Structure 1
Amino acid sequence: MKHDDIWRALDTLAAEHGLSASGLAKLAGLDPTTFNPSKRSMPDGRARWPSTESLAKVLNATGASLEAFSALVYGARALPGGGRAAAVARRIPLIGLAQAGGDGYFDDGGYPVGGGWDEVSLPEVGDPHAYALEISGDSMEPVFRDGDLVIVSPSAPIRRGDRVVVRTARGEVMAKQLARRSARRVELRSLNPAHPDYTFDLTEVIWIHRIVWASQ
């Protein structure tokens, strides 16, 4: 477990409740600056852990279980099981990953548009632009299998190691793991070693969205 994993889990938990890191802290009754980037490292540059007290208050305020938060830390399911976000479902647009590269399904910002989408009722997410994709193929096995549904959030923060959906300038839409993103390049990993990894110039990538939930 790394410091970044804990902070990423907190950021994701905040996003799935439609909150910023400061908003999550306020919801938990903490100082609004508790989870700010400046509080995530010590004066000498060493990474800082959030306190167990602050984590306990966040879990209590959001209704997320410790097990669900641990799943966030390890990059599994990214919605708090049993929490308030999971208690309400809404219908969100759904399309197959194989279709998603076609014209007319996304606007320039990567938000779902057009009438070609189906709908599915899945756990609520805080992002009003969230959408669902049906996985096709086996490049992300064993984490995502052919036919699994994933919820994608354009507004969720993205870190190295996250599972993401990427659209390239050539119209490809793919589900991968973000291995590295620099000012010039994006490196993507297929979890199934039988499939290749990919490296793109940043100019070749239209958008990258985080996968925040999967039906497994």
Structure 2
Amino acid sequence: MIKSLIILAVFSSSLLAQTTIEPSQPTHYLYTPTAHVNPPYHLVLSFREISYALPGDIQVQASILDNIGRLSFGAKYGFSENLSLGVGIASTLIRVPNGVHGIPEGARPRFGMFLTYGFVQDYNFQMAVTPHTQIGDSRISMGADLGFIVTPVDVWSFMGETGLSLDFYDSNLYLYLAGGLRIHPPTIPFMNFDIGIDITEFPVNAGGGPEIAIFFDVIFSMITM
């Protein structure tokens, strides 16, 4: 399935490359959001981020697979280039096989909020921390995720993430880890391809352990005006 989606995306990109498209950039790493929002009228379409930036440093966004910032739908406000606030519905619409991140499977949607601070904002290296909370379904959870991206060359980047969250309902402390590559071909600058490994979220102080899942995303981004 993943191979077929990537082949389809590459074929579509080759057709789109024949027209003039001014590229934009995604505003997420793996599961964590970047610390900034895109400039107005920038559009991102992917399995994990569907976003559109509006004037006033506001970006509306949704996630089909898993979630970004543990929100499936919401809005993100950029205070500055390295600080943003997101609010919305904390849930997961569709999970990839074995994928568990954020709201537990079967739980009802909750109110969610995150604050992302980028304490490294260089062109070749970015790192951001995202404290977050989810409230609802008679539960409250809080935690923080750390994500980074390193770009040694223009063609690809390496991304890594880890996160902890505490569910006050069952007193479980949850941990996840993820890492992967983002391929950004120079010939189609409006496309990015993510592939990686996800050590799914699991309670470190309870029975059982994590599972390994494949992380993937196909990202199209452009300036619409």
> TM-score of the superposition, structure 1-length normalised?
0.25
In terms of fraction of residues, the more strand-rich structure is: 2
> TM-score of the superposition, structure 2-length normalised?
0.25
